[in-house]
Structure 1
Amino acid sequence: MYAHRPEAMRFADDLASRRDLDPQWVRQTLGQARHLPTVVRLMQPPAKNFTKNWRVYRSRFIDPVRIAAGVRFWQDNQASLARAEADYGVPAEIIVGIIGVETIYGRDTGKFRVLDALATLAFDFPASHPRASERSEFFRGEIEQFLTLQSRLNTDPFAALGSYAGAMGMPQFMPSSRNKYAVDFDGDGRIDLWNSPADVIGSVANYFKAFNWQPGMPTHYPVSFDSRKLDMDALMAPDILPTFSVASFTAKGAVLEGTALQHSGPLALVELLNGDPANGGSAPIYVAGTENFYAITRYNWSSYYAMSVIELGREVAAKKKNGN
């Protein structure tokens, strides 16, 4: 229990003062949060010799069970998905892809008490992580958002269950995202990210709109390379942040074709590794990512995640269209 941790109680007093909350309630609530060793273990950074593998990563999310569940979700919520696409400009297949990757359409929203997970990561984030201090500060901010919300709604702060990182509901929103971007899309006067698919759909679409989703823009284009003028270091330097115009992108040896050559916004070279070629892996896959690809990474800062969302949404759309 964090009641015995002086730094946690100091944080509780400061939070109550800044947010005008009942100090006794904040201390008592945070004090009852439990340290979760499993959460600490799950937050440990990967081994130094770990090499990402897109095909392995993809196989975790693009599978028959998840695709079939996605088709059912889309069929059951077609009106809400169409309205969200019309209101926010975010395609239904992207929304469906997000919810499927995150929780298999609400099947797995997490079994950790949100407050326990947030407290553990705020006050006992693994010191071996290269960004431990920064991440601890982030999770203290999430506790602040979570307790402020629970106080305002007058709900039990220990009832909410979520992921080991404290993410909540079908879309796995962190408390700060819930407070900033979640919407009452079904119009019943409250926001429910666990039991209202409409609220989930509208909230995901609103999130992407807030992160500058561009309606009608592709997420990425195929890319190949001209070895005679390829400057891979320059192309990879900005990572997944769209930086290059089509002209500067192709001048550095990237080869685009068709509609990609008319793209008006910035592009990024996205690399998806397939293990270590020296140890049985295969060559990386590359795509030209747009601002919309980057917008998906604002949900989870990973190009592998973004591509999984895109491909799951496409697979579900194709399965739904074909009806088999």
Structure 2
Amino acid sequence: MPHPGPTRAISRRAVTSLLIAAGASWTGAEARNRSKSAGAAEPTAYLLRDDAMRWADEMAERRGLDVEWTRQAVGQAVFLRQVPRLMLPPARGTAKNWRAYRSRFVEPLRIRAGVRFWQRNRNALARAQAEFGVPPEIVVGIIGVETIYGQNMGNFRVIDALATLSFDFPPEHPRAAERQAYFSGELEQFLSLCQRSGMAPAQPLGSYAGAMGLPQFMPSSWVKYAIDFDGDGQIDLWASEPDAIGSVANYFKGYGWQSGLPTHYPVQLSAEADLDALLAPDILPSFSPVRFEALGAELDAAGRAHAGPLALIELQNGGDEPSYVAGTQNFYVITRYNWSSYYAMAVIELGQAVAQALGR
């Protein structure tokens, strides 16, 4: 990932605003005593893990970092027993339910909080749309779904979450090797970011997956897309709402957001619709409007006039009939934030609900 450059330092304001978890700098003896008192079958602190220390040495060499600093940083991490379980997919056969999923996010608390957020940040949202082409309702939808506009940014130490998923990813996950490699890369990005910025690695709090701040950016996304949007010369995704707004818009622009393009169109399936063919590309836009309708997915006038490819998005409703929309490239871009069509629709509809509450 590209170096964030001198203007991409994390602000001291962000660091001091974080809660600092206790026990961030144990000695080896303290870690061993904690492990014994917890009755753990394996060391609680990664300070005691040879594989973690070897990884720290190799990472320091790759990045040109001080070995002792890197070892100390990794050694402060502790195994979070609950985190590997949270990474496992739902049990096979678990029915998806769009209506139930939607109700968790498009609800009065988030809508009211979204209205206040939009009102506070009207100028920043308008500027982000002008600069990156991303409408305010999409940015508002993302931050609302992710953290309820900063009300829930996570209480896991990022160093612990990323170390746990780097060294103890659950082997029963269907893509365990791929996902473990991903989190190992994120741990490396996080430590490199801390070293460049002067932030203590044990300080930041985030999600159980290591995502940070109002928009829940993973470290690699922070490095590549986080920007100083309030003009204070520093990046602060925890306390600066304008920085979060600009960074989300920059993220979407980086993934190919097209200004003025709708996210989706309504669709009706004919009795003869070839669902197997329509759903084969999953959520990747693959069909021209003409081909889309030839396969039995009927569009409205706006959908027929669409110039780019479309995807049939299926949203299951438990035991009821699924819901369908025709997703555009911009719908697909939203799923680059979280690879789920349910997530993307929740973002879109929360943003729409907030805009409606504002009378827009």
Q: Which bin holds the TM-score, normalised by the shorter protein?
A: over 0.9
- The 2-side partners of 1:15 and 1:251 are apart by 53
Q: Shift of residue 138 of structure 1?
A: 0.2
8 Å contact from structure 2 (residues 76, 202) kept in 1: no
| Match status 1:3 vs 2:47 | yes
Give the paired residue count.
Answer: 316
Aligned to 1:57: 101
Aligned to 1:308: 346
| Match status 1:71 vs 2:132 | no
Q: Shift of residue 225 of structure 1?
A: 1.5
**Which string of whole-angstrom CA distances, capped at 9 and with x for unpartnered residues, describes residues 98-137 of structure 1?**
0000000000000000000000001111111100111000
Q: Shift of residue 251 of structure 1?
A: 1.0
Q: Shift of residue 248 of structure 1?
A: 1.1
**Which string of whole-angstrom CA distances, capped at 9 and with x for unpartnered residues, describes residues 260-291 of structure 1?**
1000001000000011x2xxxx1100000000
Aligned to 1:318: 356
The one-letter code matched in structure 2 to 1:247 is V
8 Å contact from structure 2 (residues 255, 333) kept in 1: yes
| Match status 1:283 vs 2:324 | no
Tell me the TM-score normalised to structure 2 length.
Answer: 0.87
Say which of 222, 228, 234 aligns to 1:178: 222
Q: What does 1:108-147 correspond to in 2, within 5 Å?
A: 108-147=152-191
- The 2-side partners of 1:224 and 1:14 are apart by 55
Q: Shift of residue 74 of structure 1?
A: 0.2
SS of 1:241's partner is coil
SS of 1:60's partner is helix
8 Å contact from structure 1 (residues 224, 254) kept in 2: yes
Q: What does 1:202-281 correspond to in 2, within 5 Å?
A: 202-228=246-272, 230-275=273-318, 277=319
Aligned to 2:207: 163
Q: Give the fraction of aligned pairs with identical amino acids, expressed as a percent.
A: 64
**Which string of whole-angstrom CA distances, capped at 9 and with x for unpartnered residues, describes residues 19-48 of structure 1?**
111111101110120000111121122111
Aligned to 1:31: 75
The one-letter code matched in structure 2 to 1:119 is A
Q: Shift of residue 231 of structure 1?
A: 1.1
The one-letter code matched in structure 1 to 2:298 is V
RMSD: 0.8
Aligned to 2:26: none
Q: Shift of residue 226 of structure 1?
A: 2.0
Tell me the TM-score normalised to structure 1 length.
Answer: 0.96
Aligned to 1:298: 336
- List 4+ stretches of structure 1 deviating above 4 A: none
Structure 2: tracts of 5 or more residues without a match:
1-44
- The 2-side partners of 1:188 and 1:234 are apart by 51
**Which string of whole-angstrom CA distances, capped at 9 and with x for unpartnered residues, describes residues 207-246 of structure 1?**
0000100100000000012223x21100000000001111
**Which string of whole-angstrom CA distances, capped at 9 and with x for unpartnered residues, describes residues 41-84 of structure 1?**
21122111211100110011011010000000000000000000
- The 1-side partners of 2:126 and 2:335 are apart by 23
Q: Shift of residue 247 of structure 1?
A: 1.2
Say which of 70, 90, 100 aligns to 1:46: 90
SS of 2:82's partner is helix
- The 2-side partners of 1:99 and 1:45 are apart by 24
The one-letter code matched in structure 2 to 1:244 is F
8 Å contact from structure 1 (residues 45, 128) kept in 2: no
- The 2-side partners of 1:305 and 1:257 are apart by 24
SS of 2:359's partner is helix
SS of 2:184's partner is helix
Structure 1: tracts of 5 or more residues without a match:
none
Aligned to 1:84: 128
- The 1-side partners of 2:89 and 2:122 are apart by 39
